């Protein structure tokens, strides 16, 4: 890692199984960044426990996700891959930032509203505080960019507000304490919708097995799910989120996996009905996931190797994160450790 390259950071919660939405909205866009940026990619296990997790399942899933990160093309030699709980500075900075975040700001977060509606028995303080920990994740690394899907935009805005507030209180124009980050949201694929319910986001813990494509789904299952995707009673292939959410979603998936433009898709499937479009989408997804699936099993089998990657990542991440935390403590007037 060099101090001269801009930094990007992102993370995924190890809850549920990784979906095509996580891939197209996030991981796929992380891979090329290592050519130009210092890249930090996490598994956010501290965030995951805001919803109850079975410990053995959580542990297994973290290893599965890290193997998938690598299988998707994130080379540990060119990217810092780590688990959030291994770098103590995340929780420590979150505490500081709690004191610079207003209850009203957190109350407005749509993810908190959605998650508390789904977990009525466990609306814990962590769920409410979740975006502050996310702000700490980002600000610890002086990240200029945060590659995420569309649903994280509101959290990024809060991160920016908190960073600016802290800088105004404790920094100077010449030497701000925090770098104020920008979201990096892909033009296509930033919001992949469910196949069965195309008006709701495809999610790791979706309501039905057939609503999401998981990265480890076998090809025949992917094809079956795409063929059964909900469309509409019409026949025209065009991008129209309001009138044709299902078809628009299939177009987004095709465009994000192959790079084909919407205009070209419309022209190619003009007058052909939805069957041909679905077949093309299924083939494109199967092709796109083939190299990931080919490498996954071997990577996952080497548990000691995966743990070594995470330890090395935590060591490299801690060097940067601890220095930022000390800078923050100094700005606050804390006695140096
Ligand atoms: P999470 O785990 O919900 O999602 C991980 C990433 O996948 C993107 N994503 C999608 N993109 C397109 N279509 C979808 N259907 C879809 N579903 C998910 C998300 O936008 C995200 O980029 N709070 C974050 C994790 C986090 C984080 C961070 C991210 C914690 N700290 C610091 C960036 C920086 C989350 O819950 O993502």
Same domain, 179 and 263: no
Checking if the pLDDT of 273 tops 90, the result is no
CATH number where 146 lies: 3.40.50.620
Checking if the pLDDT of 136 tops 60, the result is yes
Same domain, 139 and 71: yes
Q: What is the pLDDT of residue 276?
A: 96
- The total domain count for the chain is 2
Q: Is residue 91 part of a domain?
A: yes
CATH number where 245 lies: 1.10.240.10
Q: What is the pLDDT of residue 207?
A: 73
Q: Is residue 262 part of a domain?
A: yes
How does strand 38-43 pair with strand 80-83? parallel
Structural domain boundaries enclosing 155:
7-185+303-332
Q: Is residue 337 part of a domain?
A: no
Same domain, 59 and 120: yes
Checking if the pLDDT of 318 tops 90, the result is yes
Q: Where residue 3 falls among pLDDT bands split at 50, 70, 90?
A: low
For 42, the 3-state DSSP assignment is: strand
- Is 20 touching ligand 1 by the criterion CB < 6 Å? no
Q: Is residue 194 part of a domain?
A: no
Same domain, 221 and 275: yes
Checking if the pLDDT of 300 tops 70, the result is yes
- Is 137 touching ligand 1 by the criterion CB < 6 Å? yes
The arrangement of strands across the sheet holding 80-83 comes to: 80-83, 38-43, 7-12, 145-147, 182-184
Q: Model confidence over 51-81: pLDDT tens digits?
A: 999 999 999 999 999 999 999 999 999 999 9
Tokens standing for residue 309: 């990657």
13 CA to middle of ligand 1, Å?
7
Give pTM, 2 decimals.
0.96
Q: What is the pLDDT of residue 240?
A: 96
Checking if the pLDDT of 2 tops 70, the result is no
- Is 70 touching ligand 1 by the criterion CB < 6 Å? no
Q: Model confidence over 203-220: pLDDT tens digits?
A: 997 778 999 999 999 999
Q: Is residue 2 part of a domain?
A: no
Q: What is the pLDDT of residue 226?
A: 98
Same domain, 217 and 266: yes
Protein residue with its CA nearest to atom 7 in ligand 1: 22
Ligand 1 mutation pick, 40, 47, 151, max ligand atoms within 8 A of CB: 151
Protein residue with its CA nearest to atom 24 in ligand 1: 12
Would you tell me the crossing angle of helices 153-170 and 125-139 to the nearest 10 degrees?
A: 70
Q: Is residue 192 part of a domain?
A: no
Same domain, 111 and 150: yes
Same domain, 313 and 249: no
Q: Is residue 282 part of a domain?
A: yes
Same domain, 110 and 34: yes
Q: Is residue 190 part of a domain?
A: no
Same domain, 213 and 259: yes
Q: Model confidence over 28-58: pLDDT tens digits?
A: 999 999 999 999 999 999 999 999 999 999 9
């Amino acid at each position: 890692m060099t101090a001269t390259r801009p930094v990007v950071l992102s993370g995924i919660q190890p809850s549920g199984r990784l979906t095509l939405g996580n891939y197209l909205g996030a991981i796929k866009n992380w891979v090329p960044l290592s050519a130009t940026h210092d890249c930090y990619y996490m598994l956010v296990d501290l965030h995951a426990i805001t919803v109850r997790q079975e410990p053995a399942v959580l542990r297994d899933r973290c290893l599965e996700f890290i193997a998938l990160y690598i299988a998707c093309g994130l080379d540990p030699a060119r990217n810092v891959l780590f688990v959030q709980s291994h770098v103590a500075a995340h929780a420590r900075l979150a505490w500081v930032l709690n004191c610079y975040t207003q209850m009203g700001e957190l109350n407005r977060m749509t993810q908190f509203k959605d998650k508390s509606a789904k977990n009525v028995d466990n609306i814990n303080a962590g769920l409410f505080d979740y975006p502050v920990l996310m702000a700490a994740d980002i600000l610890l690394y002086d990240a200029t960019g945060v590659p995420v899907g569309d649903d994280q935009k509101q959290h990024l805005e809060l991160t920016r507000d908190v960073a600016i507030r802290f800088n105004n209180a404790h920094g100077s124009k010449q030497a701000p304490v925090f770098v104020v980050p920008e979201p990096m949201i892909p033009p296509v694929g930033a919001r992949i919708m469910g196949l069965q319910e195309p008006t709701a986001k495809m999610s790791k813990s979706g309501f039905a097995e057939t609503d999401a494509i998981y990265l480890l789904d076998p090809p025949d299952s992917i094809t079956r799910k795409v063929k059964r995707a909900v469309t509409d009673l019409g026949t025209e292939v065009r991008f129209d989120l309001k009138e044709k959410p299902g078809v628009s979603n299939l177009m987004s998936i095709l465009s994000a996996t192959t790079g084909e433009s919407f205009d070209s898709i419309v022209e190619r499937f003009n007058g052909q009905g939805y069957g041909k479009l679905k077949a093309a989408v299924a083939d494109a997804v199967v092709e796109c996931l083939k190299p990931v699936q080919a490498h996954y099993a071997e990577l996952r089998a080497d548990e000691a190797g995966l743990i070594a990657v995470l330890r090395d990542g935590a060591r490299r991440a801690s060097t940067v994160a601890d220095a930022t935390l000390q800078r923050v403590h100094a700005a606050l007037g804390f006695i140096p450790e």
